[in-house]
Chain A
């Protein structure tokens, strides 16, 4: 296709992506170097028969004029990045000096908002992704062994958790697991602990959200693995059976190598999706004990008094860097393949 024709065909979608994905990233980058204005204060001298007192009040008018003049805020350089709510360089070096043991230091650091969120996000990715791969693969294997006639409805049932939006999915589970729901109430009876509830323990909340994550993402892994299983050639499998290979050996040495590229694909996609975990935290109303990077950004953006653009943007930029680190190995591999292919 000539370049000119390509240009006109690609222009609409290219423009949409540049305007609404490319530019916003740049806009986020710029915003992250600014911080909202401080309130303008003025000294008010108040005199009464007993003497004069000087008090400091907020000059509302001057503040709003300043905000109108420079809506982006004041230039802050990397100030937002290193403040207490983000990388907290100063606090960490203080902790380093003050704390006695390494465990205590880690404990202090993970109480800072950014590191707390990072810890949760990484824990979530680390536990959800492998389990999703495993569960998805097992479901695919066992559905594959079921008679073809009834597979259709079974597949429909299996993919339900995936097609609902995460907020709805987590709400539906939350209403059952909460102390007033069917599972929560029965757990209380079984454990004989009337105060057992999701909100009472941080660990319990984390486990619940991770279980939700596995529940929600496994169907995706299942669908892809199921489709890949249909393409496994029959002859080597039959040869292996004749040679006396066990079921495990057949899966390990024939099926798995065949679908290996698909496994990396699923792992990559679910890693990317898990890294942006956010809606379940709202669905489970778990803000108190579990916060993710995306949730931090959301929280800054829905701030009641003044939207913290700078703070949200700084967290966004660091999230993007996180994504880049996750994607780097894949991108490098693709580039190498592309170079050798030419």
Chain B
């Protein structure tokens, strides 16, 4: 929106730039600071004496002889078994993304091509399901899962995450499918394709941008989930986010704060890179639901 007629005064320009800089500092500095601090020892990053130690690395120099140390990382990944947590996260994420895309594209295609009244009600039901706090659903799962003895294992969590993710995926893909003209698959049907063939060979090839966006959001949900994974997985199968929480310690056992710091950085870095790479898709996904629906 750069209006040809719109002349901004210099004062306004300066104010605008200052505001953006301050906001970016607020938004990004905590991450930069945590990244910086993860290479220090605890006595520096959580200093009781002087916060400046986190920058001057007073104790890090004393304890390790260098300005930076990767001790927290190596310990968390080996002793803290963060490798296991990240492996579990990868398994959960891959399965959740592929299954929810498979189910979601089929369902959303049907919804977008149906003119019946029930399609509308299904979408409304999905909206209501989307609003359910995950913890209320978990309180419904726990008891039956204990009874069926399927609690604590990865497959259960994967299926649950897929289901929780469906309402949002359906809405997102539905608005993408709506942008694909109906004439495209209608002509395929007249040529003798079945609905499935039209879906598979005509519609899916032009749907890739939408599928990538929906996949990214499923990925972020599965990767970031805390409520479901913390309560439905046993210690052994914990993914990264509940693992980070376990490093924090409780009243009963002391945690290891620096492990948590390095684990936070390790878990966040891949996500940031992914979003940097797919920024356009993330933004289009967040806005399709809003602008078009």
Contacts and interface: CB of A to CB of B under 8 A. Distances in A.
B154 interface: no
Interface in A282-338: 282, 285, 293-294, 297-298, 300-302, 307, 309, 312-313, 315-317, 319-320, 323, 326-327, 331, 334, 338
Contacts of A247: 12
Given A158-B23, A168-B267, A327-B131, A20 B46 contact: no
Provide the main secondary structure of the chain B interface. Answer: helix
B135 to A, nearest CB: 5
B106 interface: yes
A313 B142 CA distance: 11
A175 B120 contact: no
B135 A316 contact: yes
B202 interface: no
A178 B261 CA distance: 14
Contacts of A317: 136
B124 A234 contact: no
Given A21-B129, A157-B28, A224-B290, A297 B283 contact: no
A71 B151 CA distance: 15
A281 to B, nearest CB: 12
A187 B153 CA distance: 45
B162 A279 contact: no
Interface in B163-187: 163-164, 166-167, 170
Given A17-B163, A331-B124, A230 B1 contact: yes
Contact of A294 (B30, B48, B133): B133
A156 B289 CA distance: 20
A148 B19 CA distance: 17
A338 B106 CA distance: 25
Contact of B133 (A13, A26, A152, A276): A276
A146 B163 CA distance: 41
B5 interface: yes
A145 B286 contact: no
A1 B113 contact: yes
B116 interface: yes
Interface residues of A, number: 108
Given A5-B195, A20-B164, A266-B290, A168 B159 contact: no
Nearest to A231: B291
A220 B287 CA distance: 10
A258 B147 CA distance: 53
B47 interface: yes
A278 interface: yes
Provide the main secondary structure of the chain A interface. Answer: helix
B142 A307 contact: yes
Interface stretch (A53-61, A95-103, A235-243): A235-243
Contacts of B167: 17, 21
B290 to A, nearest CB: 5
Contact of B290 (A160, A181, A227, A338): A227
B122 interface: yes
A168 B268 contact: yes
Contact of A23 (B28, B104, B140): B140
Interface stretch (A76-84, A104-112, A136-144): A136-144
A165 B225 contact: yes
Nearest to B264: A168
Contacts of A163: 220, 271-272, 275, 282
B29 to A, nearest CB: 8
Interface centre among B54, B102, B136, B267 (most CB of A within 10 A): B136
Given A3-B116, A180-B48, A155 B107 contact: no
B134 interface: yes
Contact of B3 (A5, A139, A238, A282): A238
Interface in B1-43: 1-6, 8, 12-13, 16-17, 19-20, 23-24, 26-28, 30-31, 33-34, 37
A262 interface: yes
Contacts of A19: 163
A148 B2 CA distance: 9
Interface in A124-170: 138-139, 142-146, 148, 152, 154-161, 163-168
B140 A316 contact: yes
Contacts of A157: 24, 27-28
Interface centre among A20, A166, A238 (most CB of B within 10 A): A20
B103 interface: yes
A227 B107 contact: no
B24 A24 contact: no
Contacts of A266: 290
Contact of A301 (B37, B114, B138): B138
25 contacts: A1-B114, A1-B195, A13-B104, A20-B160, A21-B129, A21-B167, A25-B136, A28-B136, A148-B2, A161-B27, A164-B224, A165-B226, A166-B226, A168-B264, A168-B267, A171-B260, A172-B31, A226-B283, A266-B290, A278-B133, A298-B135, A313-B140, A315-B139, A316-B133, A334-B124
Interface of A: 1, 3, 5-6, 9-10, 12-14, 16-17, 19-28, 31, 71-72, 138-139, 142-146, 148, 152, 154-161, 163-168, 171-173, 175-176, 178, 180-182, 185-186, 215, 219-220, 223-224, 226-232, 234, 237-238, 241-242, 247, 262, 265-266, 272, 275-276, 278-279, 282, 285, 293-294, 297-298, 300-302, 307, 309, 312-313, 315-317, 319-320, 323, 326-327, 331, 334, 338
